[in-house]
Amino acid sequence: MAICTRLQWRRTIAAACAVILFGCGGGGGGNTVTTPPVTTPVVPGAFADSTVYSSAGNAALAAPNENAAVIASHIQLNGQQFNYTATTGHLSAVDVKSGQPTVSFFYVAYTMAGADAAKRPLIFFYNGGPGSASTYLHLGSFGPRRLVSAIPSSTIPPVQLVDNQETLLPNADLVFVDAVGTGYSQAIAPNTNADFWGVDKDAAAFRDFVQRYVAVNKREASPKFLFGESYGAPRTAVLANLLETAGVQIDGLVLQSAIMDYNSNCGVLDPGAVSCEGYIPTYALTSAYHQRAAAVPVGSVRTFAAGSYRTAVAAYLASKVAPPPAVLGQLSDLTGLSTLVWQQNFNMQPGYYQQNAVGGQLLGRYDARVIAPNGSTLTRDGDPSLTVVNAAFSSSIVSYLAGELHYTAGSAYAPFIDIINRWNFSHDGKQLPDTIPDLAAALTLNPAMKILAINGYHDLATPFHQTELDLARLDANPSIVLKYYASGHMTYLDDTARRVQQTDLINFLNSVTVSH
């Protein structure tokens, strides 16, 4: 999932609450009939984990736990059956210097049965937050099973898991990893969960996990990819640099809805601290979608944002110079909001646009195509595009782990934990992370590494044009490819976008593995 809504210089606010699912049962009996106990057949490879996991900051496991459920399964794709193995459980990250285990990472790996592992690409997936498990990527994107979504509709569909016709499993082995404190991942004593709640410690733990997974599963020769969403994208930049420094070659990075530099995103900083230029194209495309403004080629909006708007907003932020009427008129034409509104909100924050772009309606933050009437149930948590999908994902992951992957645990799964206020965002001498230098360093160590940036046109959390501006600092690097979809933050929740994205990802994998 995504970054926090606003991050101030001295304090942060919580973005979401963890969803904890409980089950209960009861029964009664008579005194005249004795019912024999029901024996439930044990599925070969199933694992009932008796360990109690906790997402608390001070929580720590007494010892490593490396047990897993290992289940054989298959999927039919275009009339062809693909057999695969699903491994669900824990693997310890081991500190290279001390040789001691530090984190018991919970993961689910899908590997193709009978394939030559040395030639199979290996992709590590993780969401962001920080504080999010890999639930959305796992059940929404390119795993073998997918939760049905109705995005961009505001109607909540019935909960239904289906075979994912867009899975990447025929093309690569897939590993979905939960960050420390999320899912069933937990620190190992003497470490605690909170020890890893920061940019640098988090990335170092992921580095140790990737190295351990590669070694244990003998995947040294496999082409390796990192796939991070939202905060997972800056994690990917730092992680790639750490792995390359450690001598682990990473062949490709996928930056899904990235926020590479927290210091450049006006939706993160205090109002007036930085230009909102990166949001202007998203405002224009979203207003056109809702028929509040005429559709304009995105290239024209980019030119306007980088030209007359950039000049005017710089003067406005520096000394409150009144915006030129011509610029106000262009903004009004692009968004359907009046020149007076733009004059009063010239450096318009995404939250203001979200609340005012369509009268009487609240736009989704993660997908601004989703709208709901103000005061309705869907707007209760401030983002209808999240409300329509969140409960289904949070509940489905638990039933999927138990019912299909045959892994059960004695504690609640944590799809999201509220740790924004506890996260150490400092990195490389800055109070907030700028990970473009990490990308540059990784590319210097491995010039053959390729990068694919995935962007949704209607994402009000990590706008596509801001990602363009951030990545442009790496100059015209041919290793970097940007792709765009008529979707939101979780681009893959849109059925049409997911199909196109699958093709783009396969082409990306092939562009690397063919030359490997």
Three-class HEC string of 362-404: EECCCCCCCEEECCCHHHCCCCHHHHHHHHHHHHHHHHHHHHC
Residues 6+ apart with CB under 8 A from 319: none
Same domain, 403 and 351: no
Same domain, 80 and 183: yes
Is 300 among the domain residues? yes
Report how far residue 316's alpha carbon sits from residue 321's, in angstroms, rounded to the nearest whole number. 5
Q: Looking only at Cα atoms, what is the longest distance across the chain?
A: 89
Same domain, 282 and 298: yes
Query: pLDDT for 294-349, tens place per residue?
Result: 999 999 999 999 999 999 999 999 999 999 999 999 999 999 999 999 999 999 99
Is 245 among the domain residues? yes
Please state the domain count of the chain.
2
Is 269 among the domain residues? no
Same domain, 142 and 282: no
Same domain, 207 and 299: no
Same domain, 246 and 338: no
First to last CA, the chain: 31
Question: Average pLDDT of the chain?
Answer: 92
Are 434 and 428 in contact by the 8 Å Cβ rule? The answer is: yes
Report how far residue 497's alpha carbon sits from residue 456's, in angstroms, rounded to the nearest whole number. 9
Encoded amino acid at 115, one letter: A
Are 474 and 277 in contact by the 8 Å Cβ rule? The answer is: no
Same domain, 129 and 227: yes
Per DSSP bridges, beta strands 161-163 and 224-229 are unpaired
Percent of residues in the chain assigned helix, strand, coil, to nearest 5? 35, 20, 45
Is 491 among the domain residues? yes
Tell me if residue 74 falls in helix, strand or coil: strand
Last residue of a domain, one of 380, 402, 424: 380
Last residue of a domain, one of 334, 363, 380: 380
Question: Which residues of the chain fall short of a pLDDT of 70?
Answer: 1-42, 513-516
Is 6 among the domain residues? no
Same domain, 176 and 260: yes
Q: How many CB atoms lie within 10 A of CB 66?
A: 13
Is 410 among the domain residues? yes
Same domain, 350 and 462: no
pLDDT of residue 41: 55
Same domain, 425 and 509: yes
Tell me if residue 9 falls in helix, strand or coil: coil
Residues 6+ apart with CB under 8 A from 425: 7, 12, 198, 199, 262, 431, 432, 433
pLDDT of residue 16: 32
Backbone torsions φ then ψ of 85, nearest 5 degrees: -115, 130
Which pair of structure tokens corresponds to residue 193? 């969960």
Is 270 among the domain residues? no
Same domain, 483 and 424: yes
Which long-range contacts (C-beta less than 8 Å, at least 24 apart) are formed by 439-445? 439/237, 439/240, 439/241, 439/253, 439/260, 439/474, 440/474, 441/241, 441/244, 442/237, 442/240, 442/241, 442/244, 442/250, 443/474, 443/477, 443/479, 445/241, 445/244, 445/245
pLDDT of residue 272: 76
Backbone torsions φ then ψ of 173, nearest 5 degrees: -85, 145
Strand partners, 68: 89
Is 164 among the domain residues? yes
**pTM for the whole structure:** 0.92
Q: How many CB atoms lie within 10 A of CB 148?
A: 15
Last residue of a domain, one of 332, 356, 380: 380
Radius of gyration of the chain (CA): 23
Range of the domain at 338: 277-380
Q: What is the DSSP string of 249-285?
A: ---EEEEES---BGGG-TTTSPTTSS--GGGHHHHHH
Report how far residue 501's alpha carbon sits from residue 483's, in angstroms, rounded to the nearest whole number. 8
Residues 6+ apart with CB under 8 A from 359: none
Report how far residue 288's alpha carbon sits from residue 278's, in angstroms, rounded to the nearest whole number. 17
Closest alpha carbon to 505 in 491, 516, 486: 491
Task: State the burial class of residue 115 (Cβ atoms within 10 Å of its Cβ: 0-12, 13-18, 19+).
Answer: middle
Q: What is the dihedral angle through the alpha carbons of 314, 316, 320, 321, rounded to the nearest 10 degrees?
A: 100
CATH of the domain at 117: 3.40.50.1820
Which pair of structure tokens corresponds to residue 342? 């733009």
Q: Where are the alpha helices (DSSP H) in 170-279?
A: 199-216, 232-245
Q: Tokens 């040395």 appear where?
A: 118
Same domain, 376 and 391: no
Q: How many CB atoms lie within 10 A of CB 27?
A: 4
